[in-house]
Structure formats: structure tokens, C-alpha cells
Amino acid sequence: MKIATWNINGVKARIDNLLVWLKDSQPDIACLQEIKSVDELFPRADIEALGYHVETHGQKGFNGVAILSKLRFDEVNRGLPGDDDDQQARFIEGVFSTDTGVVRVVSLYLPNGNPLGSEKFPYKLGWMERLEKWARERLDLEEPLVLAGDYNVIPQPEDAKNPDAWVDDALFQPESRGAFRRLCHLGYTDAVRAVSDDVLYTFWDYQAGAWQKNNGIRIDHLMLSPEAADRLAGASVEKHLRAWEKPSDHVPVVIELA
């Protein structure tokens, strides 16, 4: 099973690239973030024509997540529990039946948290606390679970070309990185780092020639429950999409589960 995550940075602006990528890469399940579309305006017909079932949790103008799957959805859950007042569309969970049992897949878009000193950073940390609680409870199911998405966290200095440039950014704060580590301590595996110690980035800013200079960071992750990690057969970053015309500033990250 091939599962991918991609912050598409606007599905309407990137629909042509998305369709080409789905045809070329052929993920069984694709998790999208920052679709920037309400549910009823999501371009599902073109995607469904390629054989995908589509579920979204959208929001006008920003945020928004989606799961595209060649498998039928058994269950769909929208919104991260724990804060009834949170209206931001950042979390969707799909449940699928396979020949080897149930697989759960989440597409998540973690808050950026900038600027520091504003209410946005506490919101980020609170969201991560809620995710940790939810992820701990889901472990009790003892099922393969993939938490895929844009975490807006640079886990380690080696995950940035110039880590010193990020010391005052919410993505690289000790609290953000600590929250990410707590997911690992629960028993979740960072799929990319489980198979590679190479220099790998998933995001290059549109500004200052970041792509041309390979001035990137790794903030898009697939975190695997123990049952999913036991089936991990490979992981890769599809960097070449960043060179496409009208690219997202993120690229897909892909895993293979045996």
C-alpha cells in the first residue's frame, strides 16, 4: 500500500499538478493539506475520474485537509477532538478495510504558530497537546495508523539547510520539537528517518531563491503506529515536483506499507 502526504497550497491553483502526480505516482491513499477550499467547491470530479474516493474537511480561503483513496472509506472523522471552539479545518481521519485488516490514515495540518509572542504559538502547542492525547488513545486499538501531514515542525537541526535561521521561528522552538518527540516517545515512528539519514527537505520557500539554493526544511511527516511501522517497506520524498510549473512550496512524501 502506497500512502502519500502533500501540502498542496491551494487545490484550485494546483489541480493540474495534482492530477498529473496522481497518474504518475499512483498512491493508494493521498493526504492533502492546505486545500484552501470549502467542501462543496473541491474539484472532486476530476479526481474521482482517476478512480479515487474523496473526503474533505474544508474551509474558505485557508487551511483545509483531504484524503483521496482508491479504497472505499469505512469511516470518516473530521476535526481533532478536545476543543469544541476550534473552527479551523486541520484534521480528517479515514478508516479502510484491506486484505490484511483495518488501516487508519489521518491527514493533518498542524498550526504554524508564528509570530512568537502572539496567540498563534499557544494555539499551536495546545493543538499538539490534543493530538498527543488523541494519538495515545488510538494506540489502544492496536491497528496500523498513519498520521500524515504538514506538522510545521523541524524535528532536528539536520532537517534544515540553515538551522540558525530558524531559531526564532515557531517551527523550531524547543516546545514544538518537544511535542513532536513526545509523539515518538508514545511509540510512533518517523517513517522517513526510519529508513534514511540522508539530507532530505520537503519545503522550500518561494522567496530568496530557496529552491535554487536547496535552502529547505523537513516539516512534512508520516508518523506510524507500531503496527504500521512493522509493515514499513520504504519511504521517499518526491522532490522533483518542486521544479514543476506553478509548484506548491511543499512536495509529496511517500511511504510503502507491505
Q: Is 185 marked as binding a ligand?
A: no
Q: How far apart are the first and last CA of the chain?
A: 6
Grid cell in block for residue 84:
469544541
Q: Is 7 marked as binding a ligand?
A: yes
Out of 28, 150, 159, 220, pick the active-site residue: 150
Report angle CA 31, 214, 147 to the nearest 5 degrees: 20
User: What are residue 184's phi and psi, to 5 degrees?
Assistant: -65, -40
Q: Is 17 marked as binding a ligand?
A: no
Grid cell in block for residue 113:
504558530
Out of 109, 151, 188, 201, pick the active-site residue: 109
Q: What is the enclosing helix (H) or strand (E) of 38?
A: none
Q: Is 34 marked as binding a ligand?
A: yes
Decide if 250 is catalytic.
yes
Q: Is 249 marked as binding a ligand?
A: yes
Grid cell in block for residue 1:
500500500
Q: Name the residue among 213, 215, 189 with its Cα closest to residue 202.
A: 215
Q: Is 53 marked as binding a ligand?
A: no
Decide if 168 is catalytic.
no
Decide if 74 is catalytic.
no
Known binding positions: 7, 34, 150, 152, 249-250
- Which residues form the catalytic set? 109, 150, 250
Known binding positions for Mg(2+): 7, 34, 150, 152, 249-250
